[in-house]
Amino acid sequence: MAPSLRLVVVDDHPLFVRGLELLLPATTDKRAEVVGSTGDAASAAALVARCVPDLALVDLHMPPPGGVRAVAAIRRTTPRVRVVAMSGGDDPMPALEALRAGAEGFLPKTSEPEELLPPLLAILDGWAVLPAPLLRGLLRPARGPSVDLDGEERELLRAIAAGRNTVEIAAQMHVSERTAKRMTAALLRKLRVSSRAEAAALAGHAGLLGE
């Protein structure tokens, strides 16, 4: 029976790649198979385009151009292939960069082969898969916005997040409607967002709504 999950592995550790090649078919009743591999991040996109797998597993800690760029290149050249980032380190930043580059999930390289099939099938089915500690880090409110806001700007941001319109904001801030519009536009620029909805989301992530 043909494997239901065809994988390309982008990793410069030959023993890890060989282990997946041997153990994935054995531990998944031949439902998963490695159909190609490379230890060169620069050639990853070409390999994926040639093999047309269901998933590409990409190690984030590779020599330049690195795993994150490999993820981005695969997404550009073969957007239908889902990409799963992997890492043996504890630093969450490479995982976050890989997700921004287009990876649909992240799995630690410490995962046992028999534990890989369910999350890989979930990713193939359209789900995003992240380890619980990384997910909690993403959802944990920040201590504040990424830029410094004064008291007036924080009040304005909370008013925007509460869904108040320009007239209501002007009344609350004791300014004219024209000034309220100008203040709102200036705040959006400072926060580097393009809409009130994005500003509201930022306020929620920054933990300002409960102040």
Domain count, the chain: 2
Q: Which of the four pLDDT bands, split at 50, 70 and 90, describes residue 49?
A: very high
Residue 193 lies in a domain: yes
Residue 103 lies in a domain: yes
Q: Which domain holds residue 196?
A: 151-205
Q: Starting at the earlier edge strand, list the strands of the sheet with 55-59.
A: 32-38, 5-10, 55-59, 82-87, 105-108
Q: Which of the four pLDDT bands, split at 50, 70 and 90, describes residue 3?
A: low
Boundary (domain end) residue, out of 119, 139, 159? 139
Residue 180 lies in a domain: yes
Residue 211 has pLDDT above 60, yes or no: no
Q: What is the pTM of this model?
A: 0.65
From the number of C-beta atoms within 10 Å of its C-beta (0-12, 13-18, 19+), residue 143 rates as exposed
CATH at 115? 3.40.50.2300
| DSSP conformation letters of 121-148 | HHHHTT--B--HHHHHHHHSPPSS-SS-
Indicate whether 185 and 95 sit together in one domain: no
> For residue 49, what are the CA distances in angstroms to 22, 68, 77, 82, 126?
23, 17, 7, 12, 20
d(CA 199, CA 209): 12
Residue 62 lies in a domain: yes
Boundary (domain end) residue, out of 118, 139, 160? 139
CATH at 188? 1.10.10.10
